[in-house]
Amino acid sequence: MIDEIRSMVSAAIGEGLEFSVERPKVAGRGQFSTNAAFAIAKRNGASPKDEAERLREKIIAVVPEEYFEKMEVAGGFINFWLSNKTINETFKKISSAGTTWGDSKKGAGQKVIVEYGSPNIGKPLHFGHLRSTIIGQALYNIYRSQGYRVVSWNHPGDWGKQFGIMIAAYKEKSLEGKVELSINEFLRLYVEYNARMKEDPRLEEIAREETRKLQSGDPENMRLWRKIYSLSMSEFARVAKRLGVRFDVSHGESFYKPFLKGIVDEALRRGLAVKSEGAIIIPLDEENLPPFVIQKSDEAYLYATTDIAAAKYRLEKYKADKILYVVGAEQYLHFEQLFAVLKKLGYLRDQELVHIKFGLVLGGDAKKLSTRAGKHISLSEVINEAVDKAGKVLEEKAPEIKGREKRRTAEIIGIDALKYNDLSQNRTSNILFDWEKMLSFEGNAAPYLLYTYARLRSILKKSKSAAKASRGFTTEAEKRAALKLSEFPEVLGRAADNCAPHYLAEYLYELSEAMNNFYHAEPVLTAEPEVRASRLALVRTASIVLEKGIKILGLETVERL
């Protein structure tokens, strides 16, 4: 709709002027509004209101007959109201499109890799991993809806100093007796040893030596590493499945180990890297960035080196046009350096690399949750708590749902509430949890969306006639709902362009509000036959769009609530 109106305004004023067409949030300012007259007034040195009056007449001359119900000038703005005919014709297109409504081909022929999840091996998944995992999956789904070929990529931290610490701690404890081989035990050993290292520098030297031995292929250290890796990936797969997250490719840092020496040698040979105090760095003075260290003085490689190798592999082997790195905002400097280094090395040409920054998950004391500080908050435990709380809400709100259905419904509501609480907020914001708000059946929360969808499905199940439009829409509640459905393609496009899932979440909430207002204001099943058919068509189409949007966001629906 916005594109159509923009074309009409452009036809009236000609090319060369920048202007916008928007959907006003304030009632009474039209269903659409344009500021084009301000651009004309600036060019002509005239009054925006006078230019708006003249532009209104020009638009009337070029628009199809009966497209608008009215156009009004308000200051320098022109506000538009669509005719019933236009709204009904638009709804027919939406209804006919069915489950394909919102899809786009603008990404056709382009490959996008989305890196997300990427946990550190050797620790149970931390609550802080939730953001990367669910934001990444939502972006994967959004980009697919826009016609891109998308590859979801898991890049676990399975190599580096932390394994030296775990192995050193394990060997120390194994001398004292048998040590349990489990993720929780490795975490306990890691936290304890890491705390002691601050008091005893000798322990850090031991851990550094175990890291060097691991990277040199020491058989015993490799055996322990493989065990840690296997335990970690099994737990990650279990939690990812529960969250509805999937990966097309999973290559940890260790996968790129064979490529690292070649990258360092090439950088030295081409004069892009230099030795500095025993380490090897790539200076980035021209980019006003600190140097990028790619090999330490003890000849160990860093995750910086691995990231170079990973990007090169994805650009060359997978022919990626764009790579999205869904990683916390704290790593912004690392990615600025990485992207600059990739350009220097010639690996990055016209492809696009984007750091998808997101804020922290904060604890009750508004401080970052930290494994090293001994405050490991298990993601599995948080999921379980969300499901338990959802079960208690169900007992109050829907006591008729029992047994297996109750357990399954609580699982969906709890996990959806956890995910939606994050995805409905701007990803750059820090997240504080409010369980009561998260599990509310009123307001901008997942249960409200699920309730709305279940209500729409219930209306359709009670209907015994086909949901086909016949009379069209005439009431304000009907037209507002139909117009909200027309926004879906724009919202998905904007969410993809800005890598911002919260645009989609906001839309789903507004669609739910529009549909709740509609069926509270207008009878559906008890309306006269022609009106009933039109309203059932609206309910059916809204249920399709709502379900599709919820699933693109990475959530699930329930049929009864």
Taking only the tens place, the pLDDT of each residue in 297-313 is 988 888 899 999 999 99
Q: Would the pTM of this model clear 0.85, i.e. be above it?
A: yes
Distance CA 420, CA 453 (A): 15
Amino acid occupying residue 459: I
Strand order in the sheet with 21-22: 21-22, 32-34, 77-82, 68-74
pLDDT at 469: 52
pLDDT at 360: 82
pLDDT at 210: 92
pLDDT at 81: 96
Distance CA 24, CA 33 (A): 7
The domain segmentation of the chain, as residue ranges, is 2-82, 160-245, 379-552
pLDDT at 187: 85
Distance CA 521, CA 152 (A): 44
The sign of the dihedral angle between the CA atoms of 516, 518, 520, 523 is negative
CATH of domain 379-552: 1.10.730.10
pLDDT at 335: 98
Transcribe 196-241 into DSSP letters. HHTT-HHHHHHHHHHHHHHHTT-HHHHHHHHHHHHHHHHHHHHHHH
pLDDT at 465: 61
Let me know if 49 is exposed, middle or buried by CB neighbors in 10 A (0-12, 13-18, 19+): middle
CB 543 within 8 A of CB 94: no
State both tokens at 293.
Answer: 């260290």
**Per DSSP, which regions of 90-168 are E strands?**
111-115, 149-154
Strand order in the sheet with 279-282: 274-276, 279-282, 292-295
CATH of domain 2-82: 3.30.1360.70
Q: Of 56, 62, 63, 57, which is closest to residue 78 (Cα–Cα)? A: 56
CB 21 within 8 A of CB 37: no
Residues of the chain with pLDDT under 70: 176-177, 363-376, 465-470
Residue with tokens 């940890």: 252
Domains 2-82 and 379-552 share a fold: no
The sign of the dihedral angle between the CA atoms of 373, 378, 381, 387 is positive
Q: Of 238, 261, 239, 236, which is closest to residue 250 (Cα–Cα)? A: 236
pLDDT at 17: 87
CB 12 within 8 A of CB 59: yes
State both tokens at 161.
Answer: 């100093």
Residue 515's region, left for phi above 0, alpha for psi from -120 to 50, else beta, is: alpha
The residues pairing with 152 across neighbouring beta strands, listed in sequence order, are 114
- Nearest 5°: the CA angle 522, 526, 532 is 70
Residue with tokens 């948080």: 382
